[in-house]
Amino acid sequence: MSSIGDNVVLTVFGESHGPVVGAVLDGVEPGIEITDEMIASFLSKRRPQNITESARKEPDHFQIMSGVFNGRTTGAPICILIPNENIRSSDYQQGVARPSHADYVAHIKYKGFEDYRGGGHFSGRVSAGIVATGAVALKALEDRGIHIGTHILQCGSVRDNNFVDIDTEISLLNSKDFPVISDIESEIIDEIIKAKNSGDSIGGILQTAISGIPAGIGAPWFDSLEGAIAKAIFAIGGVKGIEFGLGFGFCDSNAKGSTVNDQFYYDGECVKTKTNNNGGINGGISNGMPIIFNTAIKPTPSISKPQRSIDFIKGEDITLEIKGRHDPAIIRRICVVITAMTAITIYDLIR
């Protein structure tokens, strides 16, 4: 299925080299103020911007087809179309399994009828619809005092600061095109260029914070808040891991219950914890502290180095040198996709 959600349902559609990509967001409450400028600004954060990213530059001239009238949501499903205007299908050949791409599994799953150009429906291009509708969900949350931000925590040997002053840092990140907290943009760009110049790619770790979410959101067991977020985030191409709060740090040899437990206290009438190692979630339910999670992004699989692969139409081994326009790293562009998908998930849970 290409839909997710219970109270607010997101459906994505389109292929990388089809006429359009887009999304429908159903269940949005009426009366939310929506402007074209707001959506355009959010989409711009996903668009390639410099030499470290893909040469495929789409203008993202979106159209809101339904659900918004006179600048306000109507309560009807919001449908947003985004034309594909800069495609080059000759770069792709059916039957060639690009390593770590979905070409082979798509061929098996869809019995050879898949659109293989640019990865088809598996392409990161489809995430443009997530970002456009995510801007709507983010505005609905901000109207409730809930804010979300994502930054590049690590790329190669370069590491950013963790969230500390969360509200201030979320505001800072959402005002920047290159989402980092400390002054390390040039160092990260150098890491990416180094990989690009060697015909390779690089991944990284992203960190997301949600502030203002009240205690009591989520459920135990199979409808946990972590599970809902993880399901949504793992739908995004390139994501290979997620951890909440301290995550795998709980397994460190120096970690003991006495050192990592989040101890409660009253701040006036507000319940808080001294630390936030559990990332704002206990028993699958938000505890009122900021929700923090890290996401592992694999190196972009399209690289120019020769690689061994197969032609599954001809049934033979091949040596592949991938041509085309590809990102040596997607970690900057994917930050806004993570934020958008998180916003849609949280809005679904509180709607």
Q: Could you report the per-residue pLDDT of 289-329, keeping only the tens digit for each?
A: 999 999 999 999 989 899 999 999 999 999 998 876 778 99
Strand order in the sheet with 147-155: 158-159, 147-155, 204-211, 291-297, 239-244
Residues 204-224, mean pLDDT to the nearest whole number: 97
Annotate 157-194 with b (16+ C-beta within 10 A) or e (fewer): ebbbeebeebeebbeebbeeebbbbeebbebbbebbbe
What was the pLDDT predicted at 260?
97
What was the pLDDT predicted at 83?
95
Q: Which pair of tokens denotes residue 159?
A: 């590491």
Four-point Cα dihedral 70, 72, 77, 83, nearest 10: 70
**DSSP symbol at 245:** T
Q: Which pair of tokens denotes residue 265?
A: 């206290």
Per DSSP, the residues of 283-339 read TTEE-SSPEEEEEEEPPPS--SS-EEEEETTTTEEEEE---S---S--HHHHHHHHH
| Sole residue written with tokens 């699989």 | 301
| Sole residue written with tokens 């594909």 | 84
Domains and CATH numbers, the chain: 3-245+280-350 (3.60.150.10)
pLDDT, tens digit, 9 for 90 and up, residues 227-267: 999 999 999 999 999 999 999 999 999 999 999 999 999 99
pLDDT above 90: residue 144: yes
How many residues does the structure list for the chain? 351
CA pair distance 140, 267, nearest whole angstrom: 28
Closest CA to 347 of 27, 99, 112: 27
Cβ distance 22 to 44 under 8 Å? no
Classify the phi-psi angles of 349: left when phi > 0, otherwise alpha if psi is within -120 to 50, otherwise beta: alpha
pLDDT, tens digit, 9 for 90 and up, residues 49-98: 877 777 677 889 999 999 999 999 999 999 999 999 877 777 788 899 99
Residues 200-224, mean pLDDT to the nearest whole number: 97
What was the pLDDT predicted at 92?
82
Cβ distance 21 to 126 under 8 Å? yes
pLDDT above 90: residue 150: yes
Amino acid letter, residue 66: S
CA pair distance 230, 55, nearest whole angstrom: 31
Closest CA to 210 of 247, 173, 241: 173
Maximum separation of any 2 CA atoms in the chain, in Å: 70
Closest CA to 286 of 212, 208, 207: 212
Strand order in the sheet with 78-83: 3-4, 9-14, 20-26, 78-83, 63-66
Q: State the pTM of this model.
A: 0.95
Per DSSP, the residues of 106-162 read HHHHTTT-S--GGGGGGSGGGHHHHHHHHHHHHHHHHTTT-EEEEEEEEETTEEPPP
pLDDT above 90: residue 118: no
What was the pLDDT predicted at 86?
76
pLDDT above 90: residue 1: no
Cβ distance 121 to 127 under 8 Å? no
pLDDT above 90: residue 216: yes
Q: How much helix, strand and coil, in percent to the nearest 5, is found in the chain? A: 30, 25, 45
What was the pLDDT predicted at 90?
73
